[in-house]
């Protein structure tokens, strides 16, 4: 019960980061077989990880309703409900890309069903959390961080995932899914751009966020990386679904993806500079927010991969390999620090229990 009560949705960022590393390892252009095998194994591990987190969150919702409601009312913790559908998306994409070799055609059925459930969760995130921001939370411009993007981005993440799923569905449902995908993308991207503009204003007027939120600036990169993936996927699906004018749609979508990718490069450089600025002054305290180094860079790496396949320009392949190398370093660093923190927490808990238990010999 104590574990249920203490569990918070920001733990799903671990599933986000681990899942995107697995996908990027498997899909890296011309990657070696051992790397694809590593990506598959890591994806299987992430299924277990996200499954455990889902059980813990459901347990808290059932057995600690007051605490669960308090999380929804918290101005920061509530933002991480958006991490749930983004972690689940890494599982969906794994079923599409890696699953068929392990599970056969059944993998695509599971991908479809999980995508439907995940879409409902993403829809709840993008609707309910902003509503709580409007009615329950207390926010100020000077305390704003890129974490505000967390409940908004899942809609475009799910939309990008649908682009990979659509070719595997029956033709009778493809057009309907395409319209739904565009709608989900519209739920997220315009609002995300609005928040990016406000974030730029906040950083200009009130300077950098507190040290413990330093990593949050990377979330902006994830918004743009997912937008790139979504646009490339929508462009490819347009050509398949609308033979007459789909090529025009594809060209427009891919051009939009290039613009988003260029904007993402700007945010990548800014996020790197901000992180180094903090690091040079004094160490950044570790917390689960450090997982913000992984998923945003991972989806931007994935978007760069897709641009390479779309345009067949070698520079995109070179950059995607470089981004993946940096992503791997980030993941190893953050995963190691997280595991170390869990071990220390377990040791402290055991020590507390031992010292709190009465000495039976002394009592007798």
Whichever domain contains 26, its CATH number is 1.50.10.150
Residue 44 is predicted with a pLDDT of 98
Confidence grade of residue 27 (pLDDT, cut at 50, 70, 90)? very high
Residue 360 lies in a domain: no
Q: What pLDDT was estimated at residue 364?
A: 31
- In this predicted model, what pLDDT tens digit does every residue of 288-306 receive, in sequence order? 999 999 999 999 999 999 9
Length of the chain: 364
For residue 350, pLDDT beyond 80: no
Query: Does residue 193 form part of some domain?
Result: yes
Residue pair 84/43 in contact by the 8 Å Cβ criterion: no
From residue 238, alpha-carbon distances to 34, 234, 271, 274 in Å are 34, 6, 33, 39
Average pLDDT, the chain: 92
Residue 102 CB partners (closer than 8 Å, separation 6+): 40
Is residue 356 assigned to a domain? no
In a 10 Å sphere around its CB, with 0-12 CB exposed, 13-18 middle and 19+ buried, how is residue 355 labelled?
exposed
360: pLDDT strictly greater than 80: no
Average pLDDT for 194-212: 94
**Residue 300 falls within a domain, yes or no?**
yes
Q: How many domains does the chain have?
A: 1
- Give pLDDT, residue 171: 87
Alpha carbons 38 and 52: distance in angstroms, whole number: 21
Q: Which domain holds residue 91?
A: 2-344
Does 160 fall in a domain?
yes
Indicate whether 363 belongs to any domain: no
Band of pLDDT at residue 353, cut at 50, 70 and 90: low
For residue 358, tell me if it sits in a domain: no
Per-residue model confidence (pLDDT) at position 244: 81
Give the torsion sign (CA, 193, 196, 200, 201): positive
**What are φ and ψ of residue 262, in 5° steps?**
-60, -40
pTM of the model: 0.93
Confidence of residue 333 (pLDDT cuts 50, 70, 90): very high
Pick from 119, 9, 121: which is nearest to 57 by CA? Answer: 9
Three-state DSSP state, 201: helix
pLDDT of residue 289: 92
Does the structure show a pLDDT above 80 at 30? yes
Q: Which two tokens stand for residue 37?
A: 């095998």
Is 147 a domain residue? yes
**For tokens 């309907």, what's the residue?**
176
pLDDT tens string 234-284: 999 998 898 888 889 999 999 999 999 999 999 999 999 999 999 888 788
């Amino acid at each position: 019960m104590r574990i249920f009560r203490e569990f918070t949705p920001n733990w799903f960022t671990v599933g986000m980061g681990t899942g995107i590393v697995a996908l990027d390892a498997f899909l890296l252009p011309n990657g070696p077989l051992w790397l694809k095998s590593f990506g598959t194994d890591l994806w299987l591990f992430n299924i277990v990880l996200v499954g455990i987190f889902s059980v813990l969150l459901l347990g808290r919702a059932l057995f600690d309703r007051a605490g669960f409601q308090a999380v929804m009312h918290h101005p920061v913790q509530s933002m991480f409900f958006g991490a749930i559908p983004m972690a689940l998306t890494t599982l969906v994409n794994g079923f599409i890309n890696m699953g068929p070799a392990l599970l056969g055609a059944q993998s695509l059925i599971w991908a479809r069903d999980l995508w439907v459930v995940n879409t409902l969760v993403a829809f709840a995130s993008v609707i309910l959390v902003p509503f709580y921001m409007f009615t329950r939370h207390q926010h100020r411009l000077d305390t704003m961080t890129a974490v505000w993007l967390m409940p908004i981005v899942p809609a475009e993440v799910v939309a990008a995932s649908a682009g990979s799923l659509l070719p595997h569905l029956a033709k009778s449902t493809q057009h309907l899914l395409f319209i739904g995908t565009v709608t989900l993308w519209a739920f997220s991207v315009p609002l995300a751009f609005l928040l990016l503009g406000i974030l730029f204003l906040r950083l200009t007027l009130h300077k950098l966020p507190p040290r413990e939120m330093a990593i949050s600036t990377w979330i902006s990169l994830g918004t743009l990386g997912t937008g790139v993936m979504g646009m490339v996927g929508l462009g490819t699906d347009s050509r398949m679904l609308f033979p007459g004018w789909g090529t025009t749609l594809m060209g427009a979508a891919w051009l939009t993806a290039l613009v988003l990718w260029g904007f993402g490069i700007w945010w990548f450089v800014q996020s790197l500079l901000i992180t180094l600025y903090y690091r040079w002054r004094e160490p950044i305290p570790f917390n689960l927010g450090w997982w913000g180094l992984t998923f945003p860079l991972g989806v931007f790496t994935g978007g760069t991969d897709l641009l390479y396949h779309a345009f067949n320009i070698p520079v995109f392949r070179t950059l995607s390999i470089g981004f993946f190398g940096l992503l791997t370093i980030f993941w190893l660093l953050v995963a190691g620090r997280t595991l170390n923190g869990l071990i220390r927490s377990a040791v402290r808990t055991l020590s507390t229990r031992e010292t709190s238990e009465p000495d039976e010999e002394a009592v007798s």
